[in-house]
Structure 1
Amino acid sequence: KGCQKLSVTFLQKVDQRFLTVSPEHFVTFSFQHQQMQTMINSTLVPYFILGAYLDIKQLKYLFFLIALCLYIVTVGSNVLLSVVIAVNRSLHEPMYIFLFVLFVNQLFGSTGLFPLLLVQILSDLHSVSVPLCFLQVYLVHVYLSVEFFNLTIMSYDRYLAICHPLQYHSLMTARKVAALIAAEWLISFLGVSVFTSMSFTLHRCKNVIDKVFCNNYSIVKLACSDTTSNNIYGLFSTVVGVVLPVILIFYTYMRILTVCYSGSKKTRQKAASTCTPHLASLLNFTFGCGFDVLQSRFNMDHVPSMVRIFLSLYFLTCQPLFNPVMYGLKLSKIRNVLKTWFPIRST
């Protein structure tokens, strides 16, 4: 009886304490518990879901063939022009060496995008493991960084060739070319490694990426932990990787235009023949990246889904195909080599 009495007294005290807690405390505790559980569960989920894919049913096989053909043509054209430059000693000049780097980088970027894209087009679930997703983030962003740095170096090279033609070979030596190429790849690898590692360690509340490929900014938006350090590093990367190169490109082309305006007809023709492909490539790449930035930062729900998907993929799919066509047709030295390799017989 004594034990029963003690137990009843204890339960009554517990009941009284339990009843004195306000309903608001229960709601707060329940919400915090649910929020913590969601954060833990989504952080531990070993996959992301690419949520921008449409339910196109049997049309997915058509889109798969289109993407596969695009990948094959991209690889074929960039490999062809890389080999053309590599095996012809007459093309072992700074401008063509930088072009070689451009084509190799486009092979790198295309391989970072297309294999996973092709698998996802045929898939019904559109899930991708976290390590594989971050691998794609790394490859795609290294490609973007090297592409922009290389286009900046090419504008500097054209500036020296047109504005300082007599000193060009002493200013753009083989050692300097090698140093510039090594620097652009090293800075890109290290810079992308830092923000990829920072994004990987974030606590994520969700695992649905509103893209058809893995993108760093989209992953950061899934975080429920503090992203201040990511934002600061992103701002720093933008200044170093975008703002400073744009200033240099703008300066070099202003000087080139000044020389062309006051120079001879031959100077203007030389500038037009070598700068037009580079300027077209630069504008095409810039607009493509701009489309993706606008789509990531602003609400684009009013834009048709197919248009949004095309614009998000433009700088990754069209740029690697655009450059070989542009440089292959416009640069006479490359065009002449291609004519000797693939002679067209007139009947």
Structure 2
Amino acid sequence: MKNSSIMSSVVLEVLYRMDDLKYLYIIVFSMLYMFVLVANTTVIFIIIIDRALHKPMYVFLCNLAVNGVYGGTALLPALMGTLMSPSHEVSLASCQAQTYFLHTYAIIEFTILSVMCYDRYVAICYPLQYHSIMTITKVYKLMAFSWGYPLVAFALFFILTLRLTICRNIIERVYCSNYSLVKLSCDDTNVVNAIGLFSVVAYTFPQLAMTLYSYGHILRICFTATKKSKIKALKTCMPHLFAILNYSVGCFCEIVLSRFDTSYLSFEAKTVMSLYFLIFPPIVNPVIYGLSVQALRENMFRLFRSRNKLLPLAVK
């Protein structure tokens, strides 16, 4: 692999604007990170120990929580460490590693959400055949796809970024991203940018197609179903729809910041927008499912109210 970069480190210049309130930001980021860890590990713990929750929907939710921990850990500890550094400088290798972790986190999140969408489609459209369709083997294959495809697919593209010669070292973000690294190169990046746009389609099209297909059929069933069935379907899909909406807002913020002139926005607004994609889904998802799914909600209340062993609950 080519390794002729002039720079060995990069500076997250935006962090200089946080210096006056540095310790306040560190306290806030620490609290956010602790919430990400506690909320998601609680969901993981409950699903693992309660055999009644060893079903596809909860297996997928457990993986979503694992990815939340993965994304939060890739961002917040490094962000706090760099903020504490007087120079706000990180090594190029660390920046590249964070880029890989954060991008794969984002793709894995969307992939798991699309798989959960397919699970709801089967549960609503084929309730009698649900267990014969969503077999253990199929669940394992879907989980392997959710993790394997993003990790491998982004790695194949990221090799192109790693081969670029980095001759500038100022990144105007609070974390490292692929687009930021490409902008630091003094090489001709037209090919990388073109392949990058194609890769975005490749990373998202299968998941988007699965989501639209699944919800298209769910809506078709709802139009012909009884009022009671419609309410039940809506109740089943509501947490997932909210999770997708939350993820979509983060995508929108990231696109605006990366591709458009945002000089008219305040520093605080751009900071929130840049962090939304990486912080809010891991925070909001366990809350949404914890409050909306009865089995999880009751187990959570039992976990925090007493130290007694959690008893399996019937999944309704």
TM-score (structure 1 length as normaliser): 0.84
The residue that corresponds to 2:149 in the other structure is 187
Q: After superposition, where does 1:163-312 map in structure 2 within 5 Å?
A: 163-312=125-274
- Counterpart contact for 2:41–2:65, Cα < 8 Å: yes
Distance 1:128 1:339 in 2: 42
1:127 maps to 2:89:
yes
Deviation at 1:58, TM superposition (A): 4.1
Q: After superposition, where does 1:1-347 map in structure 2 within 5 Å?
A: 43-343=5-305
Distance 2:132 2:195 in 1: 37
The residue that corresponds to 1:33 in the other structure is none
- Counterpart contact for 2:16–2:88, Cα < 8 Å: no
Matched to 2:296, the amino acid is I
- Counterpart contact for 1:134–1:196, Cα < 8 Å: no
Deviations 1:168-210 (A, max 9, x none): 1111111000011112211111112122221111023311111
Task: Tell me the C-alpha RMSD between the 2 structures.
Answer: 1.5
Deviations 1:215-246 (A, max 9, x none): 00111122221223322332332222223322
- The answer to which of 314-323 and 191-200 deviates more is 191-200
Matched to 1:209, the amino acid is I
The residue that corresponds to 1:21 in the other structure is none
Distance 1:124 1:284 in 2: 34
Distance 1:190 1:100 in 2: 21
Aligned pair count?
303
Larger RCO (CA within 8 A; separation ≥ 6): 2
Distance 2:65 2:207 in 1: 20
Q: Which of structure 1's runs of 4+ aligned residues deviate more than 6 A?
A: none
Secondary structure of the residue aligned to 1:178 is: helix
Secondary structure of the residue aligned to 2:17 is: coil
Matched to 2:122, the amino acid is L
- Counterpart contact for 1:162–1:267, Cα < 8 Å: no
Matched to 1:237, the amino acid is S
- Counterpart contact for 1:110–1:320, Cα < 8 Å: yes
Distance 1:151 1:182 in 2: 14
Distance 2:78 2:300 in 1: 32
The residue that corresponds to 2:313 in the other structure is none
- Counterpart contact for 1:48–1:129, Cα < 8 Å: yes
Gapped runs of 5+ residues in structure 2? 307-316
- Counterpart contact for 2:13–2:170, Cα < 8 Å: yes
Distance 2:169 2:215 in 1: 44
Distance 1:305 1:54 in 2: 12
Secondary structure of the residue aligned to 2:14 is: coil
Secondary structure of the residue aligned to 1:213 is: coil
- The answer to which of 186-195 and 265-274 deviates more is 265-274
- The answer to which of 113-122 and 61-70 deviates more is 113-122
Identity of aligned residues (%): 38
Distance 1:137 1:221 in 2: 14
- Counterpart contact for 1:137–1:196, Cα < 8 Å: no
Secondary structure of the residue aligned to 1:342 is: helix
